[in-house]
Chains A and B, each alone.
Chain A
Amino acid sequence: MKKKLAFAAALLAASVLGGMANAKTLVYCSEASPANFDPGTTTGGNDFDASSRTVYSRLVEFKHGGTEVEPGLADKWEISDDGLVYTFHLHPGVKFQTTDYFKPTRDLNADDVVFSFDRQFNKANPWNGDKYLPNLTWDYYTGMDMPKYVAKWEKVDDLTVKLTLTEPNAPMLANLGMDFASIVSKEYAEQLEKSGKMADFSTKPIGTGPFQFVDYQLDSVIRYAAHPDYFKGKEKIDDLVFAITPDATARIQKVLAGECDIAPYPNPADIGTIKANQDVTLMDQAGLNIGYMSYNTTIPPLDKPEVRHALNQAIDREALIKSLFQDAGATPAENLIPPTMWSWDKDVKADAYDPDAAKKVLSAAGLTEIQLWASDRVRPYNPNFQRAAELIQADWAKVGVKAEIVNYEWTKYRSEGKKKDRPGAFQIGWTGDNGDPDNFFATLFACSAIGVSNYSSWCDKDFEDLIQKAKKTSDQAERTKLYEQAQVVFQKQAPAFLLAHSQVYAVVRKNVSGFMMDPLGIHRFDGVDKAE
Chain B
Amino acid sequence: MLKYILHRIALLIPTLVGITICAFAFVRLLPGDPILAMAGEHGVAPARYEELKEQFGYNLPIWQQYARYVGEVVTGDFGVSISSKRPVMEEFKILFPATMELSFFAMIFAMVLGIPAGIFAAVKRGSWFDQSLMGTALVGYSMPIFWWGLLLIIFFSGYLGWTPVSGRIGLQFFFKPITGFMTIDTLLYGKWDAFRSALSHLVLPAIVLGTIPLAVIARQTRSAMLEVLGEDYVRTARAKGLSPSRVIGLHALRNALIPVVTTIGLQVGTLLAGAILTETIFAWPGIGKWMVDSIFKRDYVVVQSGLLLIALIVMAVNLIVDVLYAVINPRIRAS
Contact = CB atoms under 8 A, between A and B. Distances in A.
B75 interface: no
Nearest to A245: B283
Contacts of A254: 165-166
Nearest to B277: A247
A282 interface: no
Interface stretch (A62-70, A82-90, A129-137): A129-137
Contacts of B174: 13-14, 16-17, 20, 215, 223
B91 interface: yes
Contacts of A250: 150, 153, 165-166, 281-283
Contacts of A14: 174-175, 189, 191
A256 to B, nearest CB: 6
Interface in B33-64: 33, 36-37, 39-43, 45, 48, 52, 55-56
B7 interface: no
Interface in B72-111: 80-86, 91, 94-95
Nearest to B161: A257
Contact of B280 (A3, A17, A220, A246): A246
B168 interface: yes
B173 A17 contact: yes
Q: What is the size category of the interface that chain B forms with chain A?
A: 35 or more
A6 interface: yes
Nearest to A409: B31
A92 interface: no
B135 interface: no
B184 interface: no
Interface stretch (B8-16, B228-236, B289-297): B289-297
A9 interface: yes
A249 interface: yes
A514 interface: no
Interface residues of A, number: 62
Contacts of A33: 293
A36 interface: yes
Given A136-B85, A219-B290, A411 B32 contact: yes
Contact of B293 (A135, A219, A453): A219
Interface string B162-188: 001111100111111110000000000
Interface in A69-88: none
A123 to B, nearest CB: 12
A13 B85 contact: no
B176 A13 contact: yes
Contact of A411 (B37, B81, B168): B37
A203 B54 CA distance: 27
B95 A133 contact: no
A243 B171 contact: yes
B55 A135 contact: yes
Contacts of A276: none
Most buried by B among A136, A219, A453: A219
Contact of A3 (B31, B150, B167, B178): B178
Interface in A244-275: 244-247, 249-250, 253-254, 256-257, 259
B102 to A, nearest CB: 13
Contact of A243 (B32, B157, B283): B283
Contacts of B292: 246
9 contacts: A17-B174, A32-B293, A42-B83, A134-B80, A135-B85, A139-B42, A143-B42, A217-B285, A259-B171
Closest 7 CB pairs of A and B: A411-B32, A219-B285, A220-B285, A35-B83, A133-B85, A409-B31, A245-B283
Given A202-B85, A249-B154, A253-B158, 4 more contacts: A142-B45, A411-B32, A412-B31, A430-B41
